[in-house]
Structure 1
Amino acid sequence: MTDWKKIRAEFPALENWIFLNTATFGQLPKRATEAVACHFARRDRYACSDFMGWFEDADSVRATIARLIHAAADDIAFIPNACTGLSLMMGGMDWKPGDRIVTLEDEFPNHYYYPGYLAAQGVEFIETPFERFYDAINQRTRLVALSMVNYSTGFRPPLEEISGFLRERGVMLYLDGTQGLGALQLDISAIRPAMLSVDGYKWLLAPTGGGFIYVDSELRRHLRPNIIGWRSHRDWRNHENLHHGTPEFGTEAEKYEGGMLSFGPIYGMAASVEMMLEIGPEVIDERVMQLAGSVRDILRRAGGVLRADSDSLYISPVVTARFEEKDAGVLAHELKSRKVLVAARHGNLRVSPHFYNDETDLERFEAALKQVL
C-alpha cells in the first residue's frame, strides 16, 4: 500500500494552503529542495573544481528521465523551458513556402507564436477544432504541434491514434508534455513523437529552469542544432584542449544543449523524478485520476457545467467547469482569500490536483466553493 500521508509530508507548502493548482505550478518536495541546496554546498566545498563531475551526474539524470518515459538516455537533452524545445524544432527545420503546421484550437500560446513567426517564410499555420483535425492534415503538412493535456480546458487528445495517423502520412508530431507528465503515464515508444518537450515546474515537480526534450533518433539525423556553443562539438569533454573551428556534432540529443547547464534545477528535477519512480508512475496515474474524478463530482454538485460530462476526451488531471452566474476569475480570487488555490483560464474555473493532495483538501475546497458561490 502506498503511504500517501508520508508522501504528503514531503511538501511543506501543503501545510498552509489547500493547493489544487498544479497546472500552474507544482509544489517542490523536500528532497528536490535539498538536492538543489546540496549542489550549491558542493560548489562551495570544492570551489567548483569538480565541475566535470556535474556533467556525469547530468548523464545519470538523463537515464532517470528516460526510465520515466521509456526512452534511451541518448534521446534526452536538457532545456530551461518548453518553448526552447519548440524553437529548437521549428528553428532547425528547412521550411518551404506552402509547408503546413497544424495545431488544435485553444492550444497553449507557444504553439501559435512560432508558427505565426514562420508565416513570413510562407509557412501555412492551421488551428482547428479536434472534430476537423484529421481533415486539416494534407500533403503539405509537415508538423503537428499538440499538448499532452490542454492547459485551459483539460482536453486530452488520443495521442496513440493521432501519432499512428500522422506516421502513415509522413507527418512529424511535436508533443508538449508539460501539462501531464508526472501525473499521467507516458510510453514514448507507443506514441513515437519526433520531439517531446517538457517544462518540469508543473506536474514533474521540478524547480523552474528544469526541463528536458526527447528527440527521436531519426529526427536527430537531420534537425540542425540552432543553439550552438562550446558543448556543440562532439569532443567537448576534452575541456583542456577545446576544439577551435566548426563544430562536429555528435549523435546524442545533448548536441542541442549548446553550453553550460543549469545544474541546480537539474538536480532538483532528478530528485522529483526519482520519487515518482519509487512510487510508481502507474500508481500516481491512478491516484491523480481518482482525485480528478472527485473534483468533477464537487464541481457538478456546485452547479458547474463540465465539458467532461459530454466528451470523455476532457477527462484528465486538469478539471474545468463554468458557472453561469459567477465569473471564474472572481471565484478563483475569492477562493484564494480562503487559502484555496485554483485558477481561472478563458472563463473556466480550473482545478488540478496531484498525487500529494488528499480527500481532506477536496472537502475543504468544496466547503469554500459553497461559500463563494
Structure 2
Amino acid sequence: MPDWAAIRQEYPALAGRTFLNTATFGQLSRRAVAAMHAHLERRQKTACGDFLSWFDDHDRLRSKLARLIRADAADIAFVPNAAAALGLLTSGIDWREGDEIAILENEFPNQIYAPKHIAARGVTLREEPWPGFLDAITPRTRLVSVSSVNYSTGFRVPLEPVARRCRETGALFYLDGTQSCGALDFDFTAIQPDMFSVNCYKWMLAPNGAAFMAVHPRLRERLAPLSIGWRSHEGWRNVDNLHQGAPVFKTSAEKYEGGMLPSVVLYALEASVDFLLETGLGAIEARDLALAAEVRAAAARLGGESLPFTDSAIAALRFEGADSSALARALKARDIQVSARYGLLRVSTHFYNDSSDVENFESALRAELRR
C-alpha cells in the first residue's frame, strides 16, 4: 500500500490550501522541479556540449511512457500539445465531400474546433450523446474523435465498443487521454486507437509544454509528418553531416518530431512518470475514485446533485439555485480550488489529495450555500 501521506509531502503547493482542481492543472512534485533544475545546471556546466545525450534521456522517457500506457516505445512521439497531435491527424486525411466526423456532445474545444474547421470542406460533423453514439459511426465516418474522460462531466467513455465500431466501419479512431492518463489505467495495445494524445500538465503532473502521442503502426504507415525538420531524416544523429538529401523517415513515431524537444519540461515529465510508475496506476486509480466518491457523498449531504458518472476522478456537481461559477470564485477566496465548467461545479481529486481536503471543501461549501 502506498504511503499517501508521504506522497502528499512531495507536493509543496498543497501546503496550506485545499486543491481539488487537477482537471485544470496538476501540481509539480519536488522531484519534478529538481529534475528541471538539474538539467539547467548541467547546461551551464557543459555549455550544451552534451546535447545529443539529451535525446538518449528522452528515449528513456519514451520507453517509460510506453510502459505506462502499455504501448511500444516506437509508438511514442513528443508533441507541443494534444491539439498539435489532432492537427497532424486531420491534416493527413484526404477529405472528400460526404465524409463524416463523429464526436461526443459537450466535448473539449479541441475536439470541436478542428472538426468544424474541416466541415467547411463539405465534411459532415456529427455531434452525438453517448446513448446512440455508436450508431453515428457509419461507413461514411472517416474519423471518430473522443476524449477518454469528458472534461466537464467526468463521463468515462466505454472505449472497447468505440474501438470495435471503428474497426467495423474503417473509421480512424483518435483518443484524447488528457483527462485520464495518470489517473486511470489504460491499455493502448488492447484498445488500439489509431492515435492517442495526452497533455501532461494535468493528471500526469508535468509542466505545460509536456505532451506526447502514441501512434499505432497501421497509421504510421500512411500518415506522413506535417512538420519536416533536421530530425526528420533517420540519420539525424550524424550532426557532422546533416545534409543528406531528401529525408528518409524512420518507421517509428519519432519521425513526427522534426526538431529540438522541450528538454526542460521533459525531464520534469520523466520524474513524474517515475513517481506514477512507482506508486502504481492501479493504486492511483482506486485512490482517485475513492476520493471522488467522498466528494459526491459530501455534495449529497448538502442537497447537491452529482452527475451519475462514478468511474472517473472528476465529480460534476449541481446545487439548485446556485451559480457554479460564483461558488467556485467564493471557494477560491477561501483558498479552496475547484472549477466551474458547463454550469457544473467540477471537483477533481488525485492521489495526493486526502479526506481532509474533502472535509474542508464540504465545510466551506456549506457556509457558501447558506449565504
Alignment TM class, shorter chain as reference: over 0.9
Q: Tell me the CA shift for residue 120 of structure 1.
A: 3.0
- Do the aligned residues in 2 keep the contact of 1:200 with 1:207 (CA within 8 Å)? yes
Q: Tell me the CA shift for residue 285 of structure 1.
A: 0.7
- Cα distance between partner residues in 2 of 1:348 and 1:192: 32
Moved more, 270-279 or 235-244: 235-244
> What residue number does 1:323 align with?
319
Secondary structure, aligned partner of 2:162: helix
- Cα distance between partner residues in 2 of 1:306 and 1:9: 30
> What residue number does 1:287 align with?
287
- Do the aligned residues in 2 keep the contact of 1:319 with 1:350 (CA within 8 Å)? yes
Aligned residue identity for 1:9:
Q
Q: Tell me the CA shift for residue 244 of structure 1.
A: 4.3
Q: Tell me the CA shift for residue 315 of structure 1.
A: 3.4
- Cα distance between partner residues in 1 of 2:101 and 2:93: 12
C-alpha distance after superposition, 1:85-142 (max 9, x if no partner): 1111111222222111110000000011111111232222111111121221121101
Secondary structure, aligned partner of 1:121: coil
- Cα distance between partner residues in 2 of 1:120 and 1:333: 38
> Paired residue for 1:351, among 344, 347, 351?
347
- Cα distance between partner residues in 2 of 1:280 and 1:131: 33
User: Which runs of no fewer than 5 residues in structure 2 stay unpaired?
Assistant: none
Aligned residue identity for 2:361:
F
> What residue number does 1:363 align with?
359
User: Given the two structures, how large is their TM-score scaled by the length of structure 2?
Assistant: 0.98
> What residue number does 2:333 align with?
337
- Cα distance between partner residues in 2 of 1:135 and 1:60: 41
Aligned residue identity for 2:339:
A
User: Given the two structures, how large is their TM-score scaled by the length of structure 1?
Assistant: 0.97
Structure 1 consecutive aligned stretches of length 4 or more whose deviation exceeds 3 Å: none
> What residue number does 1:184 align with?
184
| Superposition pairs of residues 95-114 of structure 1, within 5 angstroms | 95-114=95-114
Question: Percent identity among equivalent residues?
Answer: 52
> What residue number does 1:154 align with?
154
Q: Tell me the CA shift for residue 161 of structure 1.
A: 1.9
C-alpha distance after superposition, 1:153-201 (max 9, x if no partner): 1111101121112212222210000001100000111111000000000
Secondary structure, aligned partner of 2:120: helix
- Cα distance between partner residues in 2 of 1:78 and 1:287: 29
- Cα distance between partner residues in 2 of 1:120 and 1:342: 37
Q: Tell me the CA shift for residue 245 of structure 1.
A: 3.1
C-alpha distance after superposition, 1:188-245 (max 9, x if no partner): 1111100000000000001110010000011000011111111111111111101343
> What residue number does 1:199 align with?
199
- Do the aligned residues in 2 keep the contact of 1:24 with 1:202 (CA within 8 Å)? yes
Secondary structure, aligned partner of 1:130: coil
User: Which runs of no fewer than 5 residues in structure 1 stay unpaired?
Assistant: none
- Do the aligned residues in 2 keep the contact of 1:99 with 1:141 (CA within 8 Å)? yes
- Do the aligned residues in 2 keep the contact of 1:58 with 1:266 (CA within 8 Å)? yes
Are 2:72 and 1:76 equivalent residues in the alignment?
A: no
Secondary structure, aligned partner of 1:265: helix
State how many pairs are aligned: 369
Are 2:364 and 1:372 equivalent residues in the alignment?
A: no
Aligned residue identity for 2:140:
R
Q: Tell me the CA shift for residue 297 of structure 1.
A: 0.4
| Superposition pairs of residues 1-373 of structure 1, within 5 angstroms | 1-308=1-308, 313=309, 315-373=311-369
